[in-house]
């Protein structure tokens, strides 16, 4: 089979398309013929050895896929060869076939394409865990979403609106603001590109405060980090919840006196660990996502697709923070 492999740490240009032996379905696993693989920010990090996990090389990046069951491993029930499915795994998706634990797979309804299906798990499952469990978002509350035109950001807008929240989207360009409004944001603001000096951070904090209103943001979802974090935290409400999701702009250092003054929570969101520790809770969230999808309350936006041989370009676009919505590699 063909696979896009990382043989040494480095940027997407170091990936090589190669012919390798087909994987097999071990005990408790499904062998998937991959039809689509969504690109996520961990794919940028994992090939440079900057992610939480470092798989043995060579490996193919790509953590969420859709496809068809090609083989069923020992001890697996409820699946048959030919079943359509979506699945998540730490890596291996940028290949024609991948073996994944059956517990990480979910049936893909016929109404949805493989490309659409490949985009559901990591972004939407991360956000529903963030907003439902960590942020305890309630109807009528104000949600501020940073990086609101990316996969995580658009999912946060849709799920925030499904929860009945007022959603403020913060983005870096007008075309991204249009995407945020199309996803249902009540207000979209365009912030300048960092890094910021002290005066720049103060101005950004005032922009956030004006957008969320005098009561502040009850929940802030931050998949960006860097110099955007402290200005956003300054706009939080009394007893608000600040959700730490990712750091493409860098790992921030927050002044903890702000948490005291606002009596607010700073909450980490690590969906992969949550799914491993509470598979039943994760499965319940995925079931709710399928329900919201069928009701039209969420709808993954795919801005561009790439063939396998150009998957490195998709990872590079993700690294440059150019993507609106999701980027998908198709292998049909």
Note the helical H segments in 111-197. 114-118, 121-128, 151-162, 174-182
For the stretch 30-39, pLDDT in tens is 999 999 999 9
φ/ψ of 3, rounded to 5, equals: -150, 145
The DSSP annotation for 201-266 comes to HHHHHHHHHHHH-TT-EEEEEES--GGGHHHHHTTEEEEEEEEE---TT------THHHHHHT-EE
φ/ψ of 69, rounded to 5, equals: -65, 125
Q: Across residues 132-139, what is the average pLDDT?
A: 98
Residue 45 in this model has a pLDDT that exceeds 90: yes
Inter-residue contact 143 to 168 (CB < 8 Å): yes
Confidence class for position 257, pLDDT limits 50, 70, 90: very high
For the stretch 2-11, pLDDT in tens is 999 999 999 9
Helix, coil or strand: residue 326: strand
Between 44-53, 91-100, 163-172, the lowest mean confidence (pLDDT) is in: 44-53
**CA–CA separation, 136 vs 195, rounded Å?**
31
Provide the greatest CA pair distance for the chain: 61
Which domains are present in the chain?
Answer: 2-120+300-330 (3.90.180.10), 123-272 (3.90.180.10)
**CA–CA separation, 330 vs 65, rounded Å?**
10
- What is the pTM (predicted TM-score) of this model? 0.92
Q: Phi/psi class of residue 322: alpha, beta or left (left: φ > 0; alpha: ψ in -120 to 50)?
A: alpha
Exposed (0-12), middle (13-18) or buried (19+): which is 20, by Cβ within 10 Å? middle
For the stretch 268-321, pLDDT in tens is 999 999 999 999 999 999 999 999 999 999 999 999 999 999 999 999 999 987
Residue 220 in this model has a pLDDT that exceeds 80: yes
Confidence class for position 170, pLDDT limits 50, 70, 90: very high
For the stretch 243-252, pLDDT in tens is 999 988 889 9
**HEC states along 17-54?**
EEECCCCCCCCCEEEEEEEEEEECHHHHHHCCCCCCCC
Residue 322 in this model has a pLDDT that exceeds 90: no
Q: Across residues 83-103, what is the average pLDDT?
A: 96
Inter-residue contact 188 to 171 (CB < 8 Å): yes
Confidence class for position 52, pLDDT limits 50, 70, 90: confident
Look at residues 211, 214, 242, 218 and name the one whose alpha carbon lies nearest to residue 140.
Answer: 218
Average predicted confidence (pLDDT) for the chain: 95
**CA–CA separation, 103 vs 95, rounded Å?**
20
Confidence class for position 53, pLDDT limits 50, 70, 90: confident
**CA–CA separation, 62 vs 292, rounded Å?**
25
State what percent of residues in the chain have pLDDT above 90.
Answer: 92
Q: Across residues 80-109, what is the average pLDDT?
A: 96
**CA–CA separation, 330 vs 281, rounded Å?**
30
């Amino acid at each position: 089979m063909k696979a896009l492999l990382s043989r040494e740490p480095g940027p997407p240009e170091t990936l090589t398309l190669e012919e390798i032996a087909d994987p097999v379905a071990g005990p408790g696993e499904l062998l998937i013929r991959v039809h689509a693989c969504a690109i996520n920010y961990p794919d940028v990090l994992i090939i440079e050895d900057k992610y939480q996990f470092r798989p043995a090389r060579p490996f193919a990046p790509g953590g969420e896929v859709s496809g068809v069951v090609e083989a069923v491993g020992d001890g697996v029930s409820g699946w048959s060869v030919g079943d359509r499915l979506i699945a998540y795994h730490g890596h291996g998706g940028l290949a024609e076939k991948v073996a994944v634990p059956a517990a990480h797979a979910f049936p893909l309804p016929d109404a949805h394409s493989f490309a659409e299906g490949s985009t559901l798990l990591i972004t939407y499952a991360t956000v529903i865990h963030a907003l439902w469990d960590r942020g305890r978002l309630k109807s009528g509350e104000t949600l501020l979403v940073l990086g609101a035109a990316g996969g995580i950001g658009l999912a946060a807008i849709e799920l925030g609106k499904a929860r009945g929240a007022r959603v403020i989207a913060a983005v870096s360009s007008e075309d991204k603001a249009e995407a945020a409004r199309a996803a249902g944001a009540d207000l979209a603001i365009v912030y300048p590109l960092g890094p910021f000096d002290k005066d720049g951070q103060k101005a950004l904090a005032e922009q956030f405060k004006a957008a969320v209103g005098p009561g502040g943001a009850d929940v802030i979802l931050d998949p960006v980090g860097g110099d955007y974090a402290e200005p956003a935290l300054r706009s939080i409400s009394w007893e608000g919840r600040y959700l730490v999701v990712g750091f493409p702009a860098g790992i921030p250092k927050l002044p903890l006196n702000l948490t005291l003054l606002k009596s607010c929570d700073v909450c980490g969101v690590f969906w992969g660990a949550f799914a491993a520790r509470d598979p039943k809770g994760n499965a319940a969230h995925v079931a709710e996502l399928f329900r919201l999808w069928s009701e039209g309350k969420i709808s993954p936006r795919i801005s561009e697709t790439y063939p396998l041989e150009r998957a490195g370009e998709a990872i590079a676009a993700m690294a440059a923070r150019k993507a609106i919505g999701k980027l998908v590699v198709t292998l049909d």
